[in-house]
Amino acid sequence: MANYLERLRSKLKIKKLDRDQPINAWLFVLILNIVGFAGYFYLKINDINLGN
């Protein structure tokens, strides 16, 4: 049981971010997701259905 808890802790541990990560790519993905959610809520508020 102790071994299981240690493995669980190691998987849930927050890892430090790598400084070599491309920050511009992450910002693009984040902004694209925000725009997507904003568009979804805009369509829902105005009762616009794209499907059947």
Q: Each residue of 14-24: pLDDT tens digit?
A: 777 777 888 88
Judge whether 12 lies within some domain.
no
| Amino acid 52: pLDDT | 62
| Number of structural domains in the chain | 1
Tokens in use for 41? 């809520």
What is the extent of the structural domain holding 26? 21-52
Judge whether 30 lies within some domain.
yes
Q: In the chain, where does DSSP find H-type helix?
A: 2-12, 23-45
| CB burial string 13-49: b at 16+ within 10 A, e below | eeeeeeeeeeeeeeeeeeeeeeeeeeeeeeeeeeeee
Of residues 41 and 15, which shows the higher confidence score? 41
> Whole-angstrom Cα distance, residue 26 to residue 21?
8
Judge whether 2 lies within some domain.
no
Judge whether 38 lies within some domain.
yes
